Amino acid sequence: MSETDSSPSDVSATDAGTVPVEVPNDETLMEKVVGLCRQRGFVFPSAEIYGGFRSTYDYGPIGVLMLRNVKDAWWRSMVQLRHDVVGLDAAILSPPAIWEASGHLSNFTDPLVDCRECHERFRSDNLDDPTTCPNCGAEDAFTEARQFNLMFKTHAGPVETSGAECYLRPETAQGMFVNFANVLQTSRRKPPFGIAQIGKSFRNEITPGNFVFRTREFEQMEMEYFVPPAEAQRWYEYWCTERFDWYVDLGIPPEKLRLRPHDDDELSHYSSGTSDVEFAFPWGWGELEGIANRGDYDLTQHAEHSGEKLEYFDQASGERYRPYVIEPAAGATRTMMAFLLAAYDEEEVRGERRVVLRLHPRIAPFKVAVLPLSKKPELNGIASEVLSLVQPHWMCDYDETQSIGRRYRRQDELGTPLCVTVDFDSLDDRAVTVRDRDTMAQERVPIDGLIEHLRTKLAL
């Protein structure tokens, strides 16, 4: 009997006959994950009914839950569980003064070349062979490299004069630097302390691509940690370890991650150390997050350009100093993609292929799905009762169409850790069947103890 036909309380028909299928090779893995995202409502190409808008994506009903979980997991670890980090939500529209001080107006550029034959555009620093066009193969057909500023410029107000120019922020970090004094005064923190922010950033990338890895509009999760200068190296090492462990704790296998210190020639002029957390993407190692020891560069720049002091005065010691900054800067959308790629799995269950996203429960879009065995009206009341019981605690899906086996498969593809099936026996024994995504084992659990049981299983 295949699981599709099994009664939900038939414990014997669980993982017997499970055969691990070879994990898809790298090229097909990418294709499969992108296909799953489209089919199951994680990520849609933007403006699809108008033919799409290059490298721009919309997060669908499932993706929006998962992306929110990634951001919530970051916020929980960076703000909620700490006493030394506070939050911020700064404006996206920003005046040129900020970007002049930060150096972005003059330095936030990529070298751009065009192929004279096929007119494709490339970042010259990303070309494997700087003389050959990777699109059409033309030799020595590139134009001279031009520096291209990645910031999106727009105008505030009705008149497009130069005085009305403003920018969409290309990173969230500057919001923390320009609010340093405000936060210091109002939050009564003293170094070491941090300011954390999650939000959209915009970069006019020359070569967006690889699904949501590199897009022009994306979400960042950044924290600026202000420390006494003498403690900077210690905190830099601390944050490298903390941030690497965050990905591992949320289920990315350590062998798919590495912490790569920048070579001296890669370092920004103000940085005395930067390490990237990298993930083994199907095309090779790619950055998820950079952790940088930025010294006092940012506060000094803003102090000089704004005329504000931007220092910390320690009343106890009478010491006045400008803190150094350690910055862990991660991408939420890129990290979501890494979680999807790391979680994708296939296996054969009694002759049928099962696709399962083995997501950590904290990241999984739904924690629980309530599935009445049949649409028959007798089950409506008790199924709604169970749904109402679970909903206040966790994001919960409800699905009553198709065979129970198909519905289990659908939840496996969404990464739902636990399914709760209400059947006709439930009317008599006031119990339901809880099915585990990973082992497919099923247990009969009284409705009275259901929340406690789910809480223990989810271990959140």
Site residues for ligand ATP per CB under 6 A = 171, 203, 205, 214-215, 218, 220, 287-290, 329-331, 333-334
DSSP designation for 283: T
Q: How far is the CB of 179 from ligand ATP (least distance, A)?
A: 19
Coil vs helix vs strand at 423? coil
Cross-strand partners of 435: 419, 442
**What is the separation of C-alpha 101 from the centre of its chain, rounded to a whole number of angstroms?**
29
Taking the complex as a whole, the smallest distance from the CB of residue 431 to ligand ATP amounts, in Å, to 46
Cross-strand pairs, 442 = 435
Nearer to ligand ATP, 36 or 288 (CB): 288
Residue 450 structure tokens: 């259901």
Smallest distance from ligand ATP to CB 218, Å: 3
Looking at the Cβ atoms of 297 and 366, the one nearer to ligand ATP is 297
Shortest distance (Å) from residue 217 CB to ligand ATP: 8
> With the CA atoms of 29, 30, 33 and 35 taken in that order, what torsion angle do they form, in degrees rounded to the nearest 10?
-110
Q: What is the DSSP string of 179-224?
A: THHHHHHHH---SSEEEEEEEEEE---SS-BTTTTB-SEEEEEEEE
At closest approach, how far in Å is the CB of 170 from ligand ATP?
8
CA distance 450 to 441: 16
Q: What is the C-alpha separation between 69 and 318, in angstroms, rounded?
A: 44
Taking a C-beta distance cutoff of 8 angstroms, is the pair 290, 33 a contact?
A: no
Q: Least separation, in Å, of the C-beta of 171 and ligand ATP?
A: 6
Which residue's CB is nearer to ligand ATP, number 209 or number 446?
A: 209
Q: Give the Cα-Cα-Cα angle 297, 299, 300 (nearest 5 degrees).
A: 65
Structural contact between residues 360 and 367, judged by C-beta atoms closer than 8 angstroms: no
Shortest distance (Å) from residue 67 CB to ligand ATP: 12
The smaller minimum CB distance to ligand ATP, of residues 271 and 384, is found at: 271
Q: Toward ligand ATP, which CB reaches closer, 196 or 288? A: 288
* Residue 333 or 411 with smaller CB distance to ligand ATP: 333
Q: Measured at CB, which residue is nearest to ligand ATP?
A: 331
The dihedral of CA 176, 177, 182, 184: what is its sign? positive
Q: Which residue is it, tokens 């107000």? A: 157
Q: How far is the CB of 271 from ligand ATP (least distance, A)?
A: 11
- Output 215 or 433, the one with its CB closest to ligand ATP: 215
Query: Are the CB atoms for 227 and 192 separated by under 8 Å?
Result: yes
How far apart CA 194 and CA 403 sit, in angstroms, is 51
Closer to ligand ATP at the Cβ: 94 or 220? 220
